[in-house]
Chains A and B, each alone.
Chain A
Amino acid sequence: MKKTLFDKVWDSHVVRSINNGPDVLFIDRHMVHEVTSPVAFLGLKNRGINVLYPNRTFATADHNTPTINQHLPVADPLSANQLKALEENSKAHGISYWGLGHKKNGIVHVVGPEYGITQPGATIVCGDSHTSTHGAFGAIAFGIGTSEVEMVLATQCIMQPKPKKMRITIDGQLSKGVTPKDVALFIISKLSTSGATGYFVEYAGEVFRELSMEGRMTVCNLSIEMGARGGMIAPDEKTFEYIKGREFTPEGTAWDAAKKYWDTLYTDEGAVFDKELHYTADEIEPMITFGTNPGMGMSISKKIPTAAEVEGAATTYKKSLDYMGYDEGQDMLGKTIDFVFLGSCTNGRIEDFRAFTQLVKGRQKAAHVTAWLVPGSHKVMDAIKEEGLLDILHESGFELREPGCSACLAMNDDKVPAGKYAVSTSNRNFEGRQGPGSRTLLASPLVAAAAAVTGKVTDPRTLY
């Protein structure tokens, strides 16, 4: 039978299928962080059971950690308590723990690939919806709830009905200034935030083949924002090149054996998807969002659509624009902004910092803009320094913070004040997501850089 990439990976991990029920799916690797794990560990304790395979579990602290003065004790007692719980639980169960200040610390979806934990053909879960990031390597990766975190700790399995399959194909060449983030925001604007609910997505076509691994991660990361459980891209030479020689990557004969399996990971010619979508690269321009969900995005040079032009409830649409302080039919270009956030598991990797730096080089940060530049991990932070990007950023008036999720969900002190506008490279622009009353414009690192130096929404292509 012809199989899709998704079928191949899923089917090879089914321990058993329950009649009129879910599949029991074996999980190769499990990432945990401080916010969604403490109750799961407590559950294990109450049941009197241990983590079944501690060597398949990896813990890092990221969600509520501060991004300055990480060497000092964490001031917020509730956050400190969650961090302490993760450290103690990891120690008690023999799980590798990359806490605050550890040289491997960083956002869970950034460090996984950096150390080769993320591999093609693997099943990967984490109590965070953007686990879909790891699909860039041809893995099945998705976010889970806390009961499921406990389930995976206890049994290394999860119970899930097999999702439906969708393929999104984009051919052609992206034009200059159009980044992977724009590709993802473009797809979400077409599909809406629920357009892929119930599906697992495979991205195919020239555009995704041409993307770097970092770019592929950005795209897969945002799969969840179109409602999908996850997204994946077939592994190729670029994938193998990226993972080779990393700490948890197999070596020698183990590599050869793994490689043999990885080479089978593609969708067979003629395999059937439940849904197929096609776009072309030349439809895509730099994107920006203007509303309060990631589906409310548009080409940066267009005008905010009128309620009549969008599907769905006009009242919700108006309510959303009211929250943003915008009106239908307005230009986004030229709108004043107050904050810029470069970071998160969507755009907190080295390539994103390179793009941002390249654009701000020789220019100055706009005086009224507060910029938070937050690397996704220590490794990214080190690279920023080693590649000389930090000096350029300093010359342009920018500071670098320490790694973490930061303003992506504003569980720490990095909160955008009420009513203020932030151009953010993260993934959610919900009401209050970046702080109570905050207003978020999601965009690429290039659009963020253009906003940071001009103080307003600016097409980065005009600054080359």
Chain B
Amino acid sequence: MAYEPFKVLKSTAVPLPIENVDTDQIIPARFLKATERVGFGDNLFRDWRYHQDDTPKADFVLNDATFSGKILVGGKNFGSGSSREHAAWAVYDYGFRCVVSSFFADIFRNNCLNIGVLPVQVSEAFLANLFAAIEAVPKTEIIVDLPQQKITLSATGASEHFDINDYKKENMLNGYDDIDYLTNIKSEIENFAAQTPL
């Protein structure tokens, strides 16, 4: 599924200063029985967000109107555990376009890049800085500049460079996914297939 191109995102952010957030928490296994990619945003962090009787837990950050925005700032080792892509869908469908952390689990990072969520890995120090700034001023603005590969706190101008490989960057900038790329080289693939016995 192609997605909106990602260039420069200026937004407030939602802080989640918890380490080792695993994909079972992001989207519990019982929500994997869907046959369509709809409604995953409603179940993002389902068991942290809602009581068993489906009433919201007041102290969870997604239920706190003080915080909002298209950027999710999470603790170290975000997205570990099961490889379910549903976790990245839930993040996207909820409305986040960017997740910031000081370390991402491999497959979650990949899944995000495949569906148009930009994972931004920053240093521990910068992450602490972000959490402090959001805590102090919940509507503080953060700028994620993909062309420059730079994340900046508007208020102070504090910024940091982040890495992304050229290929994925190009995709995100244009809203392409891998299938767009591959369908463009279809004849090359067909030639290859012709020489590859079944």
Contact = CB atoms under 8 A, between A and B. Distances in A.
Is this pair of chains taken from one and the same complex? yes
A85 interface: yes
Contacts of B83: 129, 143, 145
Residue with the greatest number of chain A CB neighbours at <10 A, chosen from B34, B35, B81, B167 = B35
Give the interface residue-count category, chain A.
35 or more
A414 to B, nearest CB: 14
B107 A145 contact: yes
A250 interface: yes
A15 B192 contact: yes
A409 B83 CA distance: 14
Interface string B110-125: 1100110000000000
Contacts of A409: 29
A411 B30 CA distance: 8
B166 A20 contact: yes
A390 B86 CA distance: 40
Contacts of A79: 33
A38 B36 contact: yes
B167 A254 contact: no
Contacts of B179: 43, 47, 150-151, 154-155
A16 B188 contact: yes
A157 interface: yes
A81 B34 CA distance: 8
A146 B35 CA distance: 12
A399 to B, nearest CB: 27
B189 A155 contact: yes
A53 B35 contact: no
Contacts of B35: 38-39, 42, 81-82, 85
Interface in A9-50: 13, 15-16, 18-22, 24, 26, 28, 35-36, 38-39, 42-43, 46-47, 49
Interface residues of B, number: 40
A258 B197 contact: yes
B1 A43 contact: yes
Contacts of A151: 178-179, 182
Interface string A74-97: 000011011001000000000000
A39 B37 contact: yes
B4 interface: no
B33 A64 contact: yes
A301 to B, nearest CB: 31
The 7 closest A-B pairs by CB, nearest first: A21-B167, A38-B35, A155-B182, A78-B33, A145-B85, A147-B114, A20-B166
Interface of B: 1, 24, 29, 32-37, 81-86, 106-107, 110-111, 114-115, 165-168, 177-179, 181-183, 185-186, 188-189, 192-193, 196-198
12 contacts: A15-B189, A21-B168, A26-B193, A26-B196, A36-B85, A39-B36, A81-B35, A129-B83, A145-B110, A147-B85, A147-B115, A159-B181
Given A22-B167, A198-B106, 8 more contacts: A15-B185, A28-B198, A39-B35, A145-B85, A156-B193, A157-B189, A159-B178, A159-B181
